[in-house]
Amino acid sequence: MTEQSEQPDPEYLLKLLQARMPFGKYKDRLLIDLPETYICWFSRKGFPKGALGVMLKSIYEIKLNGLDGLLEPIRRTLK
């Protein structure tokens, strides 16, 4: 039996790094730049439905696992 490894989708990562918070105190801030406490609050209370919720869950997992530094080289290319 072979094990398939899941590879990140480069297009999704680019979209994730460019996505902005559409409402609230942090409106227009990049999702990746949202404070960890705010992301954790969503984790406890429930993420929004739809694409935003999926992206916030992804950001939560990235921050929870300390992987945001790995995205920094990609972020630099977007500026």
Convert the pLDDT of each residue in 20-72 to its tens digit: 999 999 999 999 999 999 999 999 999 999 999 999 999 999 999 998 888 88
Task: Note whether residue 5 is domain-resident.
Answer: no
Task: Note whether residue 35 is domain-resident.
Answer: yes
Determine the Cα–Cα distance for residues 35 and 24; give it in Å rounded to an integer: 13
Which tokens hold the place of 24? 């609230």
Other Cβ atoms closer than 10 A to 21: 18
Q: How many domains does the chain have?
A: 1
**Containing structural domain, residue 68:** 10-78
Model pTM?
A: 0.83
Task: Note whether residue 25 is domain-resident.
Answer: yes
Residues 6+ apart with CB under 8 A from 14: 74, 78
Task: Note whether residue 73 is domain-resident.
Answer: yes
